Structure 1
């Protein structure tokens, strides 16, 4: 196995543990992994009532960890989404620096997973899943839709 594939597997394991509060405490399903693709990364999806959380590792030229939340409509269709860093700031939980993405090496990649999990836990403690969905919609409304 190549080092990149090893890191992707380690990332998925670390993210599953760090974000386990989603299924243990917040009513989300256990994580689903995407396929591992060299140079593009991997992700875990946590599907919840009206909201999906996706934790991604992009391990290309400028590696980064990205967590996003997406509103899921009553018909199960994924709608608008926003990055955790944007939501964290908009909800008044703290600065975007609390949710860094750059992950140039193994150590920083795994550290970012923990930082993102901590930020998401704070965000969910601050806002209900329903309120998070409304915040995503407010933040992503296009000017012509207002």
Structure 2
């Protein structure tokens, strides 16, 4: 568990700098949650977390109402690119850092689909 705690702490420490574009899109956060960080705005919440187990992974989940969907599923469904753009395996600090960057980039690309009709700024 000590190793997992260290990987979650990496998300707490390094994730906010990579997801600053969410603040420009009207989200509040980051909020520290048990497995990572979360951002919120009316009707839309985004959680980025590290999950241990046999196959540790970094995952981003988009919550709208009572529906939770993975970033990878939304990304591919929206035609933003293949699921390979949003890998999740993350068993080491180096992989957690890489996955944070990849998932931030994928979320930034998907954001206009999640916020139709809104100008979504760059940066991040």
- TM-score by length of structure 1 reads 0.73
Question: Where does structure 1 differ by over 3 angstroms across 4 or more consecutive aligned residues?
Answer: none
Indicate the RMSD between aligned Cα atoms, in angstroms: 1.6
Look up the match of 1:129: 115
CA distance in 1, matches of 2:62, 2:32: 16
Q: Which runs of 5+ in 2 are unaligned?
A: 118-124
Alpha carbons 1:28, 1:48 under 8 Å: kept: yes
Look up the match of 2:122: none
Q: Which runs of 5+ in 1 are unaligned?
A: 36-41, 73-78, 132-146
Alpha carbons 1:27, 1:49 under 8 Å: kept: no
Q: Deviation at 1:84?
A: 0.4
Q: Deviation at 1:31?
A: 1.1
Alpha carbons 2:50, 2:59 under 8 Å: kept: yes
CA distance in 1, matches of 2:114, 2:7: 33
Structure label with greater radius of gyration:
1
Look up the match of 1:26: 25
